Amino acid sequence: MTFQYSRIADPLYVSENRVGAHSDHRWFASAAEARRGVSSFEQSLNGQWCFHYASTADESPAGFESPEFDVSLWHEIPVPAHIQMHGFDRPHYANTQYPWDGHDQIMPGQIPERFNPVASYVKRFTLDTPVGVGERVTVVFHGAESALAVWLNGHYIGYGTDSFTPSEFDLTDHLADGENVLAVQVFKWSAHSWIEDQDFYRFSGLFRDVVLYRQPVAHVRDVRVRATLSEDLSGAELAVRVDLTGGSAVVRLADGTQLKDLGDGTFVTWLDQPRLWSAEHPHLYEVLIEVRDPDGEIVEVVPQRVGVRRFALEDGVFKINGQRIVFKGVNRHDFGLNGRVVTREETEADVRTIKALGLNSVRTSHYPNNSYFYELCDEYGLYVIDEMNLESHGLWDRIRYHDAPDSEAVPGDRPEWLPALLDRARSMVERDKNHPCIVMWSCGNESYGGSNLAKVTEYFHEVDDRPVHYEGVAWDPRHPETTDVHSEMYTPAAKVEEYLRENREKPMILCEFAHAMGNSFGAVDRYIDLAYREPLFQGGFIWDFADQAIAMTDRFGQRFFGYGGDNGEAPHDGDFCGNGILFADHSPKPFTQEVTHVYRDIVTRIERDALTIENRYLFTNTSAFECVVTLSHEGEEIASEILDTDVSPGQVRQYPLPVTIPSGPGEYAVDVSYRLRAPQRWAEVGHEVAWDQAVFGSFVPSPSVPAAPEIVDGIHNIGVHGKNFTVLFSRLYGGMQSYRFGGGGPEHEILRGMPTPNFWHAPTSNERGWNAPSLDGQWLLASRYAVSERRPDQPFLETLEDSARVTYTYDLPTVPASQAALSYRVFGDGRVAVQLTVDPGDGLADAPECGVLLALDPELDQLTWYGEGPEESYSDRRLGARLGVYSAPVATQLTQYLRPQEAGNHTGVRWATVSDARGRGLRFEGSGMEFSALPWTPFEVENALHHTELPPVHRTIARPALMRRGVAGDDTWGSQTHPEFRLPADRQLIFEFSFIGINA
Ligand code: GAL
Ligand code: MG
């Protein structure tokens, strides 16, 4: 048999000579070896391999598989790795469009001929242990993207597709004594690349482990564990099916209990009052399979973990161990700083983060992950939707947007795609079936519908009892049986509710929602509220876990995270790869504070004298957490009590408030915080799992000194002076030109420009997504080019009893024109009470924000605020922010969203100071205003495509505001900020705040 390259363009050419898929169990020579976790049957081939890169098959080295072929001048490349991360070809980010679209006129199944990178690999190895009589040796490529052909010592061994499940080949018949030469070719694109059109970086190569496995004469080829719980969960039958070649097996539990051998390869036992597995309490039983050869010698020991749990549709809803589940999920791409080459340690860090953030489930969008991901989810406790490697999005677009008929769908109803689909389904189920964490199989993503997908589901149902998920049925309802759950993506909560009013035959989830691209995640509580109101809505999976971006160095040597186009690739989809609740380095974005809060499992309503605690856990009493109730006065803690709570899962209970809120003036916050009493694998004792806060009383602004200031009414300037300060208002330039403040020392100029009415911020990804800038761009002009006409009465000066008031009016260049007025009332102590009045022109779109922009001395680089925090918040994303006093360097305030955009806002601000190292600066006050202090103007931020492109810092830009437009977040391709989080466009807006110099 020989390998023919031309065949890789045939969808029916799925594999050749591949070993059948089986469970991902490991086997060891003895129980002791199993305990150590190092198997003498495994030999890793990871490491440096000889490597040749060719951009087409024609240019790849003919005959390279021969052991005699001279590879001494070849490159070396690490395995596992994407070749594109090692200087060959280039990382290519594309979302729905096929990377060859517009380059090659090809039909589904055909492959680009002019450019299809071929990676030729050669690895020499000697077996650690020679093969014994009757033993077999296979090689497993745990991930090869997208197709590979394998030779050993010059003999063609086989071919495999499906980038995300193992390709295993039996090498035994061609092994040599001593050194062996393994030759592999990996093709970037094969016929099946048409069904691997996921929204991700397009890479190729051997990107997961390559391992040699030796199978002893008696060997467990496959294990299947199944725990069937009795109706009332009081007992479970544990069945272990062992597919054994040669020899005999004994199966035991870790406590020594031997399972009964039913003689057909099945071993059973009954577990009384079993400890159940759930995401909250992920208990695992250990099973040990002992294999003896015909002589009775132990030749193999297989440890296998079992989670006893029941996940099923019961009474029309999904239940885990009898309790209705709400998926508080996230979609996760298996992606890190080395692309989809992820280590166990990195994966574990992710799982830990997911748990610590309070999520309970993950969808493996959109392909099976490394086996260790599932192992970790078993151990840490996460519900997983395991998704098959299938996406033909680009072709679905033809049906969706170009009126192509259903008959053109791929895989659709076309027989030539069915074998590949069934192969992928089998490879995933067979490998992953024993993981209790997996609660559903998913047929793939965004591939429209058709009979082939229905057959995939039929196959899943035939071999396994887990429910099946497929979202495509929502687009193509011809085969509703393809999915057991009605799944949609990005449907606004209100629409979900509407849908479920009429359609009650299946429970519903959102396999993707809350599109976390850029500064996003607004109004997500709407969905969670619905999940607790409507039993059929069982939650959703945030899109998605972490930004997918590539660490790069710019031409000035600065490191940055690149996205689509930055590697010179085309076609590409820009920064659409940055939708994570984590940054590309997997550190949390500020809005994870909102994620954790809206997903929390203990919800507390706090009243003046009582707490009402709702326990949303399914299996955990609130007594598992220390409940700490604190009382604070304007950011300062004045009392703290520990409350013993005992609220059973699913119950609500009331307790008296253990602290007394003073009734006098001032503002008080009560915080109720639930903290781990026992350490978990994912967090330490004291880790907060839930909190709520309520605010009582009201903040009393600082009074102004009654002494009137001195006024100097000049020709071109109005000066207002007091003991420690000077303010100059310009008649020539239409604004306050100077604010000097001494406070006992020499006066210091604080301004670096005249304050201006401001209506603009650098568009967020969501705003770009609904073309907000083209609708409301007039507010950009209004912010940059407002005119304060030079007239004798401009500015208008009023001398009041305790102050001087100077008012400028502005013509804003919108069509129709808008007007604004900025008035400054200066008191004798230097306090300036500012009022901004805006009259928007008729019919204008709502402004992105409404406030004042003040350019300040850049030495004022420290921000402290009494308001909501600690992370940035917006009107539609402030539930996860708590009232308090917080500090942060101004330099950290522009959140590192992949593409710079509006960021760093704080809501509910009562006061804020922006000060230098000596404590000099400005103190702002307002009644629950929004506020940011950033090193750049909105215009500078908007101009930069990456953070390294932002200019050197010359100013601190303070932007007190009445309001900024909520960030939105239902999706990033049209969904707008909900109306209640937008500024009114049809009436006068008035914003008041004050500032005063400070000198600590
Ligand atoms: C969904 C898709 C995801 C991702 C997202 C946009 O339609 O399933 O893979 O592309 O949109 O970020
Ligand atoms: Mg897609």
pLDDT 10s digits, 378-418: 999 999 999 999 999 999 999 999 999 999 999 999 999 99
Task: Please work out whether the CB of residue 199 comes within 6 Å of at least one atom of ligand 1.
Answer: yes
What's the gap in Å between 449 CA and the centre of ligand 2? 14
What's the gap in Å between 833 CA and the centre of ligand 2? 52
DSSP state of 262: -
Going by C-beta distance under 8 Å and a sequence separation of 6 or more, which residues neighbour residue 231? none
Residue 588 is predicted with a pLDDT of 98
pLDDT 10s digits, 682-711: 999 999 999 999 999 999 888 877 789 999
| Contact by Cβ (8 Å): 387, 368 | yes
Task: Please work out whether the CB of residue 193 comes within 6 Å of at least one atom of ligand 1.
Answer: no
Ligand 1 atom closest to Cα of residue 366: 9
pLDDT 10s digits, 716-755: 999 999 989 999 999 999 999 999 999 777 889 999 999 9
Nearest by Cα to 688 from 617, 614, 602, 590: 602
Task: Please work out whether the CB of residue 543 comes within 6 Å of at least one atom of ligand 1.
Answer: yes
What average pLDDT does the segment 19-29 reach? 98
What is the identity of the amino acid at 838? V
What's the gap in Å between 890 CA and the centre of ligand 1? 34
What is d(CA 730, CA 749) in angstroms, rounded to the nearest whole number?
A: 15
Residue 790 is predicted with a pLDDT of 86
Confidence of residue 95 (pLDDT cuts 50, 70, 90): very high
β-sheet bridge partners, residue 196? 391
Ligand nearest to the CA of 471: 1
Respond yes or no: is residue 113 known to be catalytic.
no
Residue 583 is predicted with a pLDDT of 98
By most ligand atoms within 8 Å of CB, the mutation choice from 512, 547, 563 for ligand 1 is 512
pLDDT 10s digits, 488-528: 999 999 999 999 999 999 999 999 999 999 999 999 999 99
Task: Please work out whether the CB of residue 547 comes within 6 Å of at least one atom of ligand 1.
Answer: no
Confidence of residue 232 (pLDDT cuts 50, 70, 90): very high
Residues in the chain, overall count: 1000
Ligand 1 atom closest to Cα of residue 198: 9
Residue 703 is predicted with a pLDDT of 82
pLDDT 10s digits, 650-686: 999 999 999 999 988 999 999 999 999 999 999 999 9
Residue 380 is predicted with a pLDDT of 98
Nearest protein Cα to ligand 1, atom 2:
199
Residue 420 is predicted with a pLDDT of 98
Helices (H), 100-192: none
Residue with tokens 């495999």: 160
Nearest protein Cα to ligand 1, atom 10:
199
Ligand 1 atom closest to Cα of residue 579: 12
Token code pair at residue 540: 């959703």
Ligand nearest to the CA of 394: 2
Token code pair at residue 394: 């680009």
DSSP state of 583: -
Neighbours of 641 (CB within 10 A): 12
Give the domains, in start order, of the chain with CATH numbers.
Answer: 5-212 (2.60.120.260), 219-311 (2.60.40.10), 326-546+581-595 (3.20.20.80), 601-696 (2.60.40.10), 710-998 (2.70.98.10)
Q: What is the pLDDT of the chain when averaged over all its residues?
A: 97
| Contact by Cβ (8 Å): 274, 227 | yes
What's the gap in Å between 998 CA and the centre of ligand 2? 53
Angle formed at CA 519 by CA 514 and CA 522, multiple of 5 degrees: 45
pLDDT 10s digits, 46-85: 999 999 999 999 999 999 999 999 999 999 999 999 999 9
Please report the DSSP string for 725-787 in residue order.
EEEEEETTTTEEEEEEE-TTS--EE-BSS--EEE---PPPHHHHHTTHHHHHTHHHHHHHS-B
SS3 352: helix
Per residue, the 3-state secondary structure of 869-896, as one string, reads ECCCCECCECCCCEEEEEEEEHHHCCCC
Upstream peptide bond of 108 is cis (omega within 30 degrees of 0): no
What's the gap in Å between 784 CA and the centre of ligand 1? 36
What is d(CA 362, CA 376) in angstroms, rounded to the nearest whole number?
A: 12
Residue 462 is predicted with a pLDDT of 98
| Total-model pTM | 0.97
pLDDT 10s digits, 477-493: 999 999 999 999 999 99
| Contact by Cβ (8 Å): 392, 410 | yes
Token code pair at residue 135: 């033993």
What's the gap in Å between 97 CA and the centre of ligand 2? 9
Task: Please work out whether the CB of residue 579 comes within 6 Å of at least one atom of ligand 1.
Answer: yes
Ligand 1 atom closest to Cα of residue 446: 8
Ligand nearest to the CA of 512: 1
Ligand nearest to the CA of 511: 1
Q: Output the CA–CA distances (angstroms, integers) from residue 15 to 57, 72, 159, 412, in the order listed.
A: 19, 31, 5, 21
What's the gap in Å between 366 CA and the centre of ligand 2? 9
What average pLDDT does the segment 922-928 reach? 96
Upstream peptide bond of 142 is cis (omega within 30 degrees of 0): no
Which residue in the list 168, 290, 375, 446 is annotated as catalytic? 446
Residue 130 is predicted with a pLDDT of 94
Residue 104 is predicted with a pLDDT of 96
Token code pair at residue 841: 């022109």
Residue with tokens 């404590």: 919
By most ligand atoms within 8 Å of CB, the mutation choice from 334, 543, 544, 577 for ligand 1 is 543
Neighbours of 503 (CB within 10 A): 11
Confidence of residue 136 (pLDDT cuts 50, 70, 90): very high
Respond yes or no: is residue 471 known to be catalytic.
no
Task: Please work out whether the CB of residue 97 comes within 6 Å of at least one atom of ligand 1.
Answer: no
Residue 793 is predicted with a pLDDT of 85
What's the gap in Å between 317 CA and the centre of ligand 1? 26
What is d(CA 904, CA 891) in angstroms, rounded to the nearest whole number?
A: 10
Helix-then-strand count for the chain, H and E = 13, 61
What is d(CA 473, CA 478) in angstroms, rounded to the nearest whole number?
A: 8
Task: Please work out whether the CB of residue 397 comes within 6 Å of at least one atom of ligand 1.
Answer: no
Residue 685 is predicted with a pLDDT of 98
Ligand nearest to the CA of 491: 1
